[in-house]
A and B are shown apart, each in its own frame.
Chain A
Amino acid sequence: MSGFFTLVGRDLRLAVRQGGALGTALGFYLVVVAMLPLGLGADLKLLSRIAPGILWIALLLSALLSLGRVFESDYEDGSLDVLTTGPLPLELVTAAKALAHWISTSVPLALLAPVLGILLNLELVAYPALVATMIIGTPAVSFLGAIGAALTLTARRGGLLIALLVLPLYVPTLIFGIAAISAMLGPDDVAPPLLILTAISLGAIVLGPLAAAAALRTQMQ
């Protein structure tokens, strides 16, 4: 397991020291959220009602934007060949990289969401719910996204392709993420959507590395 954590640490250090990637994702998140009121009209009531949905969808798009880099840079400089032939099972390699993506991209995006909530006139009571559902739901985003990143590694125009492959898989996370927020704000019981959201994330943590490793193995031969 030490190899696993070494790999996570390496990816996190690379993300911090190379810079750029996280800033770009956060900047993209900010710009998308800022564009929407311009398109939808500045009606504060409307904005506060649809704010959770906007923040969730923009988060999915921003995370998607950075997914292409999960395996790409390692593929280009040859480290992926070393990792493929190394002692660590490829399933754990993909899990480590997806985990590093979650920590380095999804969590910062989730933490930025309340700040953007101010722009959308989101009620203050909703902030803990928003961040909580995002933290719980985003492992699915990173781990299912790793499948898309692995599948499109050697494909032409991979960046656009990832969106088409992965966004339909995010539908359950999106639906239950929004359902959990509205349950926390409304009279409904919050436990069912939150538990299902957790289950989807846990399922994605199993499915994602397996499928991504199979895809990488096929391409690295």
Chain B
Amino acid sequence: MQTFTQRLANPTQFMRLSARLLPWVAGLAAAIIAYGLYLAFFVAPPDYLQGEIARIMFVHVPSAWIAMAGYALIAVSAFGLFVFRHPLADVSAKAAAPIGAAFTFLALFTGSLWGKPAWGTYWVWDARLTSVLILFFLYLGLIALRSSIDDETLASKLTAILALVGIVMLPIIKFSVDWGNTLHQPSSVLKLSGPTIHSSILTPLLVIGAGFLVLFVAMHLKAMRNEILRRRVKALQLAEVARAASQVVAPAE
């Protein structure tokens, strides 16, 4: 009896399943985000201090969540590549890196836009900003390392090692950056004592967070499909070259 992930190890099975799932996942993402945006703009009240500008939170906070989830996914994929030798693990890690980097950039960009009216400056060297910026650098490192190694199998393994080193170092980096005082408000959603924000704001935040997560899944599936197709095209081209080469040699025999 094969487990679900083992069945997916066959790229053909994965392509068939993902082709069927993708429109639904993408449609679901669009629907949830549309509903979340409706909640964010028409149901959630403006902030009593910051007014309408605080609504940027509904893009900023979910982006930061997805940025962290994306790196976790890469690390899990790297683990899957090393321990289970799962053939799709590398495809998953490769596909997730640019998407995660994009969400990280989105979190930094929207945070910067929010910082100007709220703190009076686009950028401060606050603990949370700095650790997200370093997360962005780790993403860039993964992408840069992969793009500078020609052999794809080698590139995937080395990138996986880097991703695992990164996931070990991330908590230490986060802790060290938090050492100083922080200007950023502490997390108000993930707390043992329960969220400290009102449900009229928390609900749209969680809805958009769920929407971004489904959007990430949709983009990740699409990127994985593209990567598998790209590898197939490459394999076909190589086969074509080999066939042409053998035809050139053949008449001489």
- Please give me the residue from chain A that is nearest to B164 by CB atom: A211
Q: Is the CB of A171 within 8 A of B134?
A: yes
Instruction: Count A-side interface residues using an 8 Å CB cutoff.
Output: 29
A179→B178 CA distance, assembly (Å): 12
Q: Which residues of B contact A154 (CB under 8 A)?
A: 149, 151, 154
A156→B140 CA distance, assembly (Å): 16
Which of A19-27, A29-37, A160-168 lies at the interface? A160-168
Q: Is the CB of A169 within 8 A of B165?
A: yes
Q: Is the CB of A172 within 8 A of B176?
A: yes
- B53 in the interface (beta carbon within 8 A): no
- A151 in the interface (beta carbon within 8 A): yes
Shortest Cβ distance from B45 into chain A, in angstroms?
A: 39
Q: Is the CB of A151 within 8 A of B145?
A: yes
A158→B144 CA distance, assembly (Å): 10
- Please give me the residue from chain A that is nearest to B172 by CB atom: A172
- B80 in the interface (beta carbon within 8 A): no
Which of A83-91, A94-102, A212-220 lies at the interface? A212-220
Q: Is the CB of B145 within 8 A of A165?
A: yes
Which of B137, B141, B166 has its CB near the most chain A CB atoms (within 10 A)?
A: B141
A8→B194 CA distance, assembly (Å): 54
A219→B138 CA distance, assembly (Å): 22
- Whether A147 contacts B165 in the complex (CB less than 8 A), given A152-B145, A164-B140, comes out as yes
Shortest Cβ distance from B42 into chain A, in angstroms?
A: 41
- B158 in the interface (beta carbon within 8 A): yes
Instruction: Count B-side interface residues using an 8 Å CB cutoff.
Output: 28
- Please give me the residue from chain A that is nearest to B149 by CB atom: A155
**Binary per-residue interface labels of chain A (35-68) against chain B in the complex, 1 for a CB within 8 Å, 0 otherwise:** 0000000000000000000000000000000000
Q: Is the CB of A179 within 8 A of B179?
A: yes
Q: Which residues of B contact A219 (CB under 8 A)?
A: 154, 158
- A185 in the interface (beta carbon within 8 A): no
Q: Is the CB of B141 within 8 A of A168?
A: yes
Shortest Cβ distance from B219 into chain A, in angstroms?
A: 25
Q: Which residues of A contact B180 (CB under 8 A)?
A: 175
Partner of A168 from B134, B145, B164 at Cβ < 8 Å:
B134
Partner of A171 from B145, B158, B162, B173 at Cβ < 8 Å:
B173
A-facing residues in B117-138 (Cβ within 8 Å): 134, 137-138
A211→B154 CA distance, assembly (Å): 15
- Please give me the residue from chain A that is nearest to B134 by CB atom: A168
A211→B173 CA distance, assembly (Å): 18
Q: Is the CB of A155 within 8 A of B161?
A: no
Shortest Cβ distance from A94 into chain B, in angstroms?
A: 12
- A176 in the interface (beta carbon within 8 A): yes
A215→B162 CA distance, assembly (Å): 9
A207→B167 CA distance, assembly (Å): 12
Q: Is the CB of A161 within 8 A of B165?
A: no
Q: Is the CB of A203 within 8 A of B172?
A: yes
**Binary per-residue interface labels of chain A (165-196) against chain B in the complex, 1 for a CB within 8 Å, 0 otherwise:** 10111011001100100000000000001001
Nearest first, the 9 A-B pairs at minimum CB distance are A172-B176, A168-B137, A155-B148, A218-B157, A175-B176, A165-B141, A156-B148, A211-B165, A168-B134
Q: Can you give 12 A-B contacts (C-beta < 8 A)?
A: A147-B162, A154-B149, A155-B148, A157-B148, A161-B145, A164-B137, A165-B144, A200-B172, A207-B169, A215-B158, A218-B154, A218-B158
